[in-house]
Structure 1
Amino acid sequence: MRTDVRTTAIAAVRNLGILAHVDAGKTTVTERVLYLTGETHKRGEVHDGTTVTDCHPQERERGITIFAAAVSCVWDGHRINLIDTPGHVDFADEVERSLRVLDGAVAVFDAVAGVEPQSESVWRQADRHGVPRIAFVNKLDRAGADLDAAVASIRERLHPAPLAVQLPIGREAGFTGVVDLLTLRALTWDDGPDGDGFREGPVPDGLRAEAERRRGLLDEAVAGLHPAALEEYVEHAALSTATLAAALRDLTRSGEAVVVLCGSAYRNRGIEPLLDAVTAYLPSPLDVPAVRGAAGAGEASAEEVERAADPDGPLTALVFRVNVGASGRLTYLRLYAGTLRKGDTVLDAGSGRTERIARILRVQADLHVEAETAVAGDIVAVVGVKAARTGATLCAPGAPVVLEPAVAATPVVTVAVEARRTVDTDRLALALARLVEEDPSLVVRTDPETGQRVLSGLGELHLEVAVEKIRRQGLEVAVGRPQVALRETAERGVAGHVHRHVKQDGGAGQFAHVVLDVAPLDVATPDAAAPDGAAGEEGGGFVFASTVTGGRVPKEYVQAVEAGCRDALADGPLGGHPVTGLRVVLTDGATHPKDSSELAFRTAGRLALREALRACRMVLLEPVAEVTVTVPQEAVGGVLGDLAARRGRVQGSAPRGGTAVVTAVVPLAELFGYATALRSRTQGRGTFTTRPAGYAPAPPAAR
C-alpha cells in the first residue's frame, strides 16, 4: 500500500461507537462531542427531545435511543465517525451490527451505579468482535458518585486491568475538573451550568500528593503489562510521559488494558480529554488487522482473501444497516478497501447481482451531505442499491469477496399482527417486509394453523416500537398478546436406537441403516469419551459425533446423518418447538453397495432422531431473563413478593444510596406488563432492566 495523502488521511480516521447501559449518558456524551467539535451550535438534551442522534419521533417521545445513529465530526485534525448505539436490551442487535463495522468504542458508565447489566452485555459483545475500548465514567456530579468504586466494578465484572488516567477535582456537586495523571496538570471547567470555560493549570496543593501517588501506581501497573515500559521502569523507577502514552496506546489496541477517564457530560466537563484519548489511544483503520473474507461470489469458495485498508485496492464494503423511508432506500456501508465513486457499479457478492451507486452521502443522523467519493475506512450511506440486505458485501465486480456478516439474534417474543380493515392487508404485508429489511432481528411468518401474520422480536419493547412504526404509516392494526418462543430438550435420553431406511419404488432404491445414542448435552456418552468428528454449536444447542469404526459408514454418509439430525431439530415431539441441548452419537450402521446414498442417510438420520426423541423423556423450556430492579427501600417487600408471584428466583438485594437493587431471574413470559405494575407498586419511583439469561424448564401448565 502506497503512503500518500489518502492513506495519511485514513490514519487520521477513528470509527467508534458509544456503548452503555440505558440512561448512562451515551446520547448526552455524543451531543457534547458534536457541540465541542463545532458540528452543532446548540447542545441537544434528551429530556427536551432536541438531540441530533435521537432523531426518530419514537426516540424523542420515549427518551431512549432505539436506532443506532451515525454522525461525523473533526477533532484535532482527526475525522471521527461515531455511532450512538441503543442501551436497552431489546435493541442489542443494533449494537451487534454496529460493532461489526467499528474499530473502537467508548464505554460509558454511571459513576453511581458502576457496571450495570446491559453495560456488561454490550461489553461482552465488543469482546466477541475484538473491538478496543476506553471507558468514560459519567455523572461524577451526582450524589453518591465514586470513581474508585466504578473502576473497581469494571475490574471485578469486565476487565482485570482498568487504568484510571485521571483524578477528579471535587466530589458530587462540587466536581469541577480532573487531574491528568500523565501530565500532572489540572483541567478545570467553569462553575456555571454550561461549563464552557476550559482551563489548564497546576494541580491544586491539596491534591498534589494524591496525584503523584496515583501516577506512581499507574506507572507500576503499565510496566507490569508492557515490556518496553517495564525496561524503563526498572531503570528509572518511573515512566516518562511519552513512554506511558505509547504504552497505553499499545495496551488499549491489544485489549490488554482499558484506559478510564471521567467527567460529567450533562455539565460539559471531561469531554475534551475524552476526545483527546479517542485520537491518542483508539486505532485507525490502518491499525486494525486486514479484513478477511471468502473469495468468490454467490456460493463462496473456501479460499480466504485479505483486504487491507488501501484506497487503491479492490472495493470491499459491508452493509450494516438499511433504512427504508418515504424518501427512498438508504444503505449504510463501512468501506474496508478501495474507493467508491458516484455512479459506480458494484457487485453484491452474496446474491451475485450488480447494483449502481446513484449517490454517496456523508451521514449526520437524519441529515445528509452529498459526496463524490468514499475511501477505505469511511462510513457512508448510499442511494441506488435496491436489493442488498444487511450483512451483504458490496465489492468490485472483478474481485468478488464475501465478508462475514453480524449474526442476527434469535427472536424470543411473538405477537400476531392483523390489519383492522381488509383493504389494508396488502399494505400491512409491505410494511412488515420493510421492517424485516431494516431490522434482521425481526421475523415475520404466517401461522399455518390460524393464517395470521406473526411478528417475532427480541422483547416486548422491540415489538411495541415495530408496531408503532407501522401505525405511523396510517395503518390500523390489531395486535395479539405477546407469546414467548419455547424450546424442547431431552431430560433423559435413549441408547442404541435403530432405524433402517429402505425404499424401493422402481429404479435406484434407498438404503441406510443407523444406530443412534441420544442424551442431554451435559451427559457424556461412555462410548464417545473422545469421539472423532465431533461437531457442536456455540452456546451448546447441539453436538453430533460418530464412533463408527471399520468403515461401516463412510465419512460422507456420517455428514449426511448429521445433516438429517439437524433437520429433525426443527420441530420437537411435545409441540413442534425447536429442540436444543442435545447430544447425538452415531454408534453403528450399514450400507448397501448400490442403494446407499447421502440422501438415504440424511433421510435416515432425520427419521431416526425423530423416533428417538419420542422415546426420550422430553421437557419444554421457556426463555428467562435476569432482572435488575431499583426501588425505594420501603417498597422492597412488595417488589420481592411480586417477583415471587411471577415465578422469579431472587438472587440478591443490595442497598445503593437510599434505594435497593434487587436481582432476580424471571421467566420472560411473566414480564409482559411488568413496567406498569412496578410503577404502580412503587408510586412511579421504581425502575428495572433485563437481559437474556437462557432457557429454563417451563411449568406443567405451559406443557
Structure 2
Amino acid sequence: MVRLYFAKTLATKFLFAEKWSLKIPPVLKASYARKTLNEFRDVKDIRNIGISAHIDSGKTTVTERILYYSGRISSMHEVKGKDEVGATMDFMELERQRGITIQSAATYTDWKGTNINIIDTPGHVDFTVEVERALRVLDGAVLVLCSVGGVQSQTLTVNRQMKRYNVPCIAFINKLDRTGANPNRVLGQLRSKLYHNAAYVQLPIGLEKDLEGIVDIIHRKALYFEEPNGLNIVEKEVPANMVEEVEEKRAELIEAVANADDAIGEMFLEEKTPNEEELMAAIRRACIKRAFTPVFVGSALKNKGVQPLLDGAVDFLPNPSEVENFALDESGEKPRKIILNPDRDDTHPFVALAFKLEAGRFGQLTYMRIYQGCLEKGSTIINVRTGKKVRVPRLVRMNAQEMEDVSNVYAGDICALFGVDCASGDTFVLKSGEQISMESIYVAEPVISMSIKPVNKGDTDNFAKGIARFVREDPTFRVKYDPESKESIASGMGELHLDVYAQRLEREYGTKCILGKPNVAFRETLSSSCDFDYLHKKQSGGQGQFGRVEGFIEPLPADEYTKLEFVDETTGTNIPKTYIPSIKKGFLSACEKGILAGQRITGLKFVLKDGASHAVDSSDWSFQQAAEGAVKQVLSNGMWQLLEPIMSVEVTTPTEFQGAVMIGLNKRHALITGTDANEGFASIFCEIPLNDMFGYSTELRSSTQGKGEYTMEYCKYCIAIPSTHEALISEYEEELNKQNPQSQKKKRRN
C-alpha cells in the first residue's frame, strides 16, 4: 500500500501543477494563504509549536522538511548547502554564511486540515533569549536530539525553559544516518538527565548507512520513505527480525503511559491490553500534562521520519483550548488571576502578548500571540503598560521573511503588526480602562562585556541607530557609555553574541566596528553581616535635609548572589512609610559600584530596622541620600569579596585526546562534574570561571587536531579565586592612579 502524504493540501496541488507545467491562475495562487487561514475557525484545528534543541541537532533541517512535505515550499535547501540558497528559516545573510540560526523565525503551514504555527529557534546559548520568548507563547514543542551527541548542554537549558512555561513536548531523535548513531543511549539520557517519562513510539529500521525506514510501534507497521525526496511512503509489515523487539517496546510504551494516565493504568493493573485508539488518546492526555514524552526517530537530512513526526505533533500536542493561559486583572482593589478564553470568536475581550520585536522594511515589526478575542486590521489597540493607543494599519502572518496580509486574527494565532511602539513582553487590549496584564518573559543577565566603537568617526550616526535597534530587539544585548573610559560598553551572553552584532552593524548599517578586550561581569558582595547607623543632615538656610536610617546589611545565600533585596522591618512612625521607597532607591543606587574593583554590588539584603525623621527638613531626597550613606558606611566597615560568573562547559573530543583536554581544562581552574564516552568520543562536563575561558576555542582545536568542540552556558556566580581577586584589585587601583594620582598619594599617606 502506497500513500502519497504530499498531495494533501491546496498548496501541494499547486506544486504538482507546476511540475507538469499546468497553468495556475495567479490570483488563486497568491490568495492561497488567505483562503486557507479563514478556514481554520475551530481552535481544535490549530497547533502552535516550536522546534528546539542543542546547536547542530538539525532543528532548521527538520523545519525545512516540514514546510516541504506540507506544501509550504516547492523545494528543499540545506543549512550549509552547495547551492548557496540556504534553508527557508535562516533568511539572514549572516545565518547562511555561518550555518547557524541566530534569531527565531515564524511560519505556518497546513497538515491534513490542521494549521500549524511553527517557530524555529536558535540552538546556541548566546541566543537563548530567542528560545525563551518563543516558548513563552507556544503551546507545544518538538525537542530535537542528535542520535550521536544525545542530551547536550543546551538541551538541558531548553528543557528548563519548557518546564518554566509548562510546555508539553514530543522528542525526535534525529541524524540516525550518522556514524555512531545510538538512539537507545539518547533515550536513556532523556530519562536520566532530563527526568522525562519517555518511551519509543517508533523504532528505526537499521542505523547509520543502513537506515531504511521506521516502524510505527502503536500501529505495528513499517514505513519506508521512497523518492522523490521521501514523498512516497510505503507501508509494509514489520520486518521479521524486528517483530519481537517491536512487541517488547510496545509493552514498555504501555507501561510508561500507564504510569502517567489513570485509564491505561487501570487496564494495566487488570492485565488488559489497550487498542490503538485507547493508547493514542492516553498518550495525548499524558503528553499534554507533561507526564509522558513520546519519542520519534528518523533522519531529516535523509528525508526519513518527518511526516510521521508531523502526525505526532497533531495527534499528541495540545491545541490552544487545551492549555490554560492566565492573566492578571488589576482593575479592582486587589489583583486577581483570570483564565483567558481561547474560543475563536469576537465575543471575548481581546488580549495579546508582544513577544518579539524586529526592524522591518516598514518600521518596527511586532510579533504577537493572540490569547483571547479577535483583532481586525484598522482596529485601535492599547498598550496596558504605557496606556498608549495605536491603530493597526497592517496585519500580517509571517513565513520566515515573507509577509502575507490578513484581515483579522483570532485566539490561538501568531501574527505580526507594523507601527506598534512597545517593548517585548507588553500586553495589548482593545477596550480602554482594561487593566489585564500577562506574565512577561524571563531575561537572563549578560555575562560578558566588550568595548565597541566605529572605525570611522563619520559612521557615528549609523552606529547609534544600529545599536538603538539591536538593544530594542534583544533584551540580553545592552550598551552603555562609560564616562570614565569614554567608551561604549556592549554587554551580552558571550563572545559570539557580541561578534554577531558587530558584523550586523557592518552589513546592515555600513558601520565597521572594533570590539575591545572582553570584560567579565564580576560582582562584589559582603562576606558577613554589617550594621549601619547613618544620619544625613544639612542646613544652609531655609529648608534643610534630614534623614536617619538604622539596620544591617547581610549577604544572601550563594544561589541568590545575583539579587538585591530590601526589607522594611520598621515599626512606629520614626520613618514615615512614604519615605521607604526612597530608601530602597538609595540602596539600589549605591550598589552600582563597589569598593574592591569598581564592580556592581549584588547578593545583599538591606534590612531597615529604625531611623528618624524631621517634620520640616525630611524629604524623599534626604532619605535617599541617607540610604546611600549607609551603604558607603558598610563599604568602609564591612568585609567584601569578589564574585565571578561560572560557566557550565561541555567538551566533546576523540578519546585519544581526552588526557590533553583534561590537562588544559585543569589549567583553567575547571571543576570536572562528569564524563561520558561513546563510539570513540568522550564528553567532559565541567564548571569553569568565564574569565578563564577566553581563547579556549583555539587551544582546543590545536590540542585535538581540529576535532574537538565545546559549548558553554552561564551557570552561577561564585567567590572569585585568589589570583583573580588580587589581579582585579591591582588593576582597579592602577586605573584610579592614572585618573587621579594626587588623591591616591593622599590615600596611601592616610
Q: Please confirm whether the aligned pair reaches a TM-score higher than 0.5, indicating the same fold.
A: yes
Amino acid at match of 1:693: C
Matched, 1:393 2:393: no
CA contact (8 A) 2:327 2:338 kept: yes
CA contact (8 A) 1:626 1:690 kept: yes
> For residues 287 and 180 of structure 1, do their structure 2 counterparts lie closer, same or farther at Cα, with a shift above 3 Å needed?
same
Deviates more, 1:101-110 or 1:497-506: 497-506
2:216 corresponds in structure 1 to 180
Alpha-carbon distance in structure 2 between the residues aligned to 1:82 and 1:249: 19
SS in 2 for 1:100: helix
Amino acid at match of 1:368: M
Give how far 1:444 is off. 1.6
Amino acid at match of 1:218: L
CA contact (8 A) 1:521 1:540 kept: no
2:97 pairs, out of 61, 64, 68, with: 61
Alpha-carbon distance in structure 1 between the residues aligned to 2:443 and 2:219: 44
SS in 2 for 1:492: coil
Alpha-carbon distance in structure 2 between the residues aligned to 1:240 and 1:360: 46
Which structure 1 segments of 5+ residues have no match?
524-536
Identity over aligned pairs, percent = 39
1:118 pairs, out of 149, 154, 169, with: 154
Give how far 1:118 is off. 0.4
1:93 corresponds in structure 2 to 129
Give how far 1:505 is off. 5.4
2:42 corresponds in structure 1 to 9
SS in 2 for 1:82: strand
> For residues 555 and 234 of structure 1, do their structure 2 counterparts lie closer, same or farther at Cα, with a shift above 3 Å needed?
farther
TM-score (norm 1): 0.90
Matched, 1:233 2:259: no
CA contact (8 A) 1:630 1:687 kept: yes
CA contact (8 A) 2:597 2:728 kept: no
Q: Write out aligned runs for 1:195-234 (5 A).
A: 195-234=230-269
> For residues 438 and 560 of structure 1, do their structure 2 counterparts lie closer, same or farther at Cα, with a shift above 3 Å needed?
closer
Amino acid at match of 1:46: V
Amino acid at match of 1:517: F
Q: Write out aligned runs for 1:289-688 (5 A).
A: 289-295=324-330, 302=335, 304-310=337-343, 311-312=345-346, 313-326=348-361, 328-385=363-420, 387-398=421-432, 400=434, 401-472=436-507, 473-494=509-530, 496-504=531-539, 511-522=546-557, 541-545=563-567, 561-590=583-612, 600-688=622-710
> For residues 52 and 230 of structure 1, do their structure 2 counterparts lie closer, same or farther at Cα, with a shift above 3 Å needed?
same
Matched, 1:43 2:76: yes
> Deviation digits for residues 578-614 of structure 1, max 9, x if unmatched?
2222234334445567766666555433321331133
Alpha-carbon distance in structure 2 between the residues aligned to 1:181 and 1:340: 43
SS in 1 for 2:357: strand
Deviates more, 1:579-588 or 1:626-635: 579-588
Give how far 1:696 is off. 2.8
Deviates more, 1:429-438 or 1:338-347: 338-347
Q: How many residues align?
A: 681
Deviates more, 1:300-309 or 1:319-328: 300-309
Give how far 1:656 is off. 2.4
Alpha-carbon distance in structure 1 between the residues aligned to 2:683 and 2:254: 36
Amino acid at match of 2:717: Y
Matched, 1:148 2:214: no
CA contact (8 A) 1:141 1:175 kept: yes
Deviates more, 1:19-28 or 1:39-48: 39-48
> Deviation digits for residues 103-152 of structure 1, max 9, x if unmatched?
11111011122110000001101111111111111112222222221111
Give how far 1:90 is off. 0.3
Alpha-carbon distance in structure 1 between the residues aligned to 2:699 and 2:58: 26
Matched, 1:702 2:735: no
> Deviation digits for residues 237-262 of structure 1, max 9, x if unmatched?
32232222222111111112212111
SS in 1 for 2:358: strand
Alpha-carbon distance in structure 2 between the residues aligned to 1:444 and 1:469: 15
Alpha-carbon distance in structure 2 between the residues aligned to 1:480 and 1:488: 23
CA contact (8 A) 1:622 1:697 kept: yes
SS in 2 for 1:574: coil
> For residues 213 and 555 of structure 1, do their structure 2 counterparts lie closer, same or farther at Cα, with a shift above 3 Å needed?
farther
SS in 1 for 2:550: strand
SS in 2 for 1:66: coil
Which structure 2 segments of 5+ residues have no match?
1-37, 730-750
CA contact (8 A) 2:562 2:717 kept: no
Give how far 1:664 is off. 2.6
> For residues 257 and 563 of structure 1, do their structure 2 counterparts lie closer, same or farther at Cα, with a shift above 3 Å needed?
farther
Amino acid at match of 1:583: K
TM-score (norm 2): 0.85
1:31 corresponds in structure 2 to 64
1:248 pairs, out of 283, 286, 309, with: 283
CA contact (8 A) 1:314 1:399 kept: no
Alpha-carbon distance in structure 2 between the residues aligned to 1:62 and 1:384: 31
Alpha-carbon distance in structure 2 between the residues aligned to 1:219 and 1:153: 20
SS in 1 for 2:484: coil
Deviates more, 1:58-67 or 1:158-167: 158-167
SS in 1 for 2:270: helix
Alpha-carbon distance in structure 1 between the residues aligned to 2:600 and 2:139: 36
Bigger share in helix: 2
2:114 corresponds in structure 1 to 78
Deviates more, 1:92-101 or 1:391-400: 391-400
Alpha-carbon distance in structure 1 between the residues aligned to 2:39 and 2:590: 53
Alpha-carbon distance in structure 1 between the residues aligned to 2:534 and 2:278: 68
Amino acid at match of 1:623: P
> For residues 371 and 169 of structure 1, do their structure 2 counterparts lie closer, same or farther at Cα, with a shift above 3 Å needed?
same
What is the aligned-residue RMSD (CA, Å)?
A: 2.7
Amino acid at match of 1:77: G
